């Protein structure tokens, strides 16, 4: 998941909060005619920006939780697929069923192992694992599909009669249901986070957004103070940052 860096936006909110405070301190001379620059409008924009940022942060936390829960559900799937394949081979199943099951199991094992390799590499490099689902990330939707096909294969195979409860078809279907549920939760959380971040982008960097308004307020204060005095120095020290392309990258769903 690409890091949108909500802390980056928080710095802009903090700077805007300080700017609004300066405007209040100089209310005797801060009397702009444009409604969007008046103190009431600035306070409303500050409040809306804080709310949008908090919503993004909350959705980011929900997504992190959903990812952890999905990881926990997918973690044993490769081993389970191996057990199913072994049980099918031992049951003297038809060659066709064994070939189909082997193909499904190999896909699951290969894709699930990518996640473990990523974690191991991060630990070896003393880095913190942050649910990075870049080039080595498994495609969870396809893993679910392959696991469903594996279940279908053993379901129609009359010789597949495992004695272990966790290998019975009814239990495999319960596992499949859990995988789908956890993956759906991640998809929903990612969509919610993307929507929240889009709202932040518009509110902070869109027309009449926080950055544009802040610059207009600074220009007004510069004019009325004639580039001198304590207020002007404080305003000049404020920094409002534009996002880089990397920071504006949204999460992608797999």
Q: What is the pLDDT of residue 217?
A: 94
Q: Cα dist. 28→23, 24, 31, 214, 224 in Å?
A: 9, 9, 7, 19, 11
> Domain range for residue 105?
6-237
Residue range 195-204, pLDDT digits in tens: 999 999 999 9
**Structural domain includes residue 145:** yes
pLDDT at residue number 127: 45
227/123: higher pLDDT: 227
**Alpha-carbon distance 76 to 22, whole Å?**
57
How much is the pLDDT for 227? 66
On the question of pLDDT at 134 being above 60, the answer is no
Q: Is residue 183 part of a domain?
A: yes
Of 21-25, 73-77, 224-228, 244-248, minimum mean pLDDT range: 244-248
pLDDT in tens, 147-189: 999 999 999 999 999 999 999 999 999 999 999 999 999 999 9
pLDDT of residue 119: 54
CB atoms under 10 Å from CB of 182, counted, come to 20
Q: What is the pTM of this model?
A: 0.79
DSSP 38: S
Is residue 101, in this structure, part of any structural domain at all?
yes
> Which distant-in-sequence residues (6+ apart) come within 8 Å of 150 by Cβ?
81, 84, 101, 104, 105, 108, 172
Would you say residue 2 has pLDDT above 70? no
Mean pLDDT, all residues of the chain: 87
Residue 250 has pLDDT above 90, yes or no: no
- Check residues 18 and 123 and name the one with the higher pLDDT: 18
Arithmetic mean of pLDDT, 93-116: 88
Average pLDDT for 119-133: 48
Number of neighbours of residue 93 by Cβ within 10 angstroms: 19
Q: Is the pLDDT of residue 126 over 70?
A: no
Is 1 a domain residue?
no
Confidence of residue 1 (pLDDT cuts 50, 70, 90): very low
User: What DSSP assignment string belongs to the chain?
Assistant: -----HHHHHHHHHHHHHHHHHHHHTTTT---SSGGGSHHHHHHHHHHHHHHHHHHHHHHHHHHHHHHHHHHHHTTHHHHHHHHHHHHHHTT--HHHHHHHHHHHHHHHHHHHHHHHHHHHHHHTT-------STT---HHHHHHHHHHHHHHHHS-TT---SSGGGSHHHHHHHHHHHHHHHHHHHHHHHHHHHHHHHHHHHHHSTT-HHHHHHHHHHHHHHHHTT-HHHHHHHHH---PPPPTTTTPPP---
Question: What 3-state DSSP class applies to 168?
Answer: coil
Q: Tell me whether residue 242 is in a domain.
A: no
Number of structural domains the chain divides into = 1
Overall average pLDDT of the 99-112 stretch: 94
Helical (H) or strand (E) element with 114: helix 95-124
Q: Is residue 245 part of a domain?
A: no
User: What dihedral do alpha carbons 43, 46, 47, 50 form, nearest 10°?
Assistant: -160
Distance of CA 12 to the CA centre of its chain: 21
pLDDT at 48 over 50: yes
Q: Is residue 249 part of a domain?
A: no
**Is pLDDT at 137 greater than 90 in this prediction?**
no
Torsion of CA 143, 148, 152, 153, to 10 degrees: 10
Strands (E), 25-88: none
- Mean pLDDT, residues 105-113: 89
> What share of the chain in percent tops pLDDT 90?
69
Does the residue 48 lie in any domain?
Answer: yes
Mean pLDDT of 82-104: 95
- What is the average pLDDT across 21-39? 92
């Amino acid at each position: 998941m690409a890091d949108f860096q909500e802390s980056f936006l928080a710095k802009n909110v903090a700077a805007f909060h300080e700017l609004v405070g300066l405007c209040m301190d100089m209310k005797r001379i801060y009397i702009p005619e444009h409604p969007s620059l008046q103190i009431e409008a600035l306070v409303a924009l500050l409040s809306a920006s804080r709310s949008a940022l908090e919503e993004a942060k909350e959705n980011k936390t929900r997504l992190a939780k959903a990812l952890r829960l999905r990881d926990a559900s997918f973690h044993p799937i490769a081993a389970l697929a191996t057990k199913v394949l072994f049980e099918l081979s031992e049951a003297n199943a038809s060659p066709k069923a064994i070939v189909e099951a082997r193909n499904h199991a190999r896909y699951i094992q290969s894709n699930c192992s990518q996640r473990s390799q990523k974690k191991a590499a991060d630990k070896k490099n003393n880095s913190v694992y942050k649910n990075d689902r870049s080039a080595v990330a498994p495609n969870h939707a396809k893993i679910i599909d392959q696991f469903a096909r594996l279940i279908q294969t053993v379901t129609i195979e009359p010789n597949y009669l495992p004695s272990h409860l966790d290998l019975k078809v009814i239990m495999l279907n319960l596992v499949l249901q859990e995988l789908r549920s956890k993956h759906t939760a991640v998809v929903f959380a990612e969509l919610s986070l993307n929507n929240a971040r889009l709202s932040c982008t518009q509110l902070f960097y869109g027309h009449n957004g926080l950055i544009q308004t802040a610059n207009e307020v600074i220009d007004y204060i510069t004019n009325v103070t004639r580039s001198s005095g304590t207020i002007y120095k404080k305003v000049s020290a404020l920094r409002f940052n534009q996002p880089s392309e990397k920071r504006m990258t949204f999460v992608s769903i797999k």
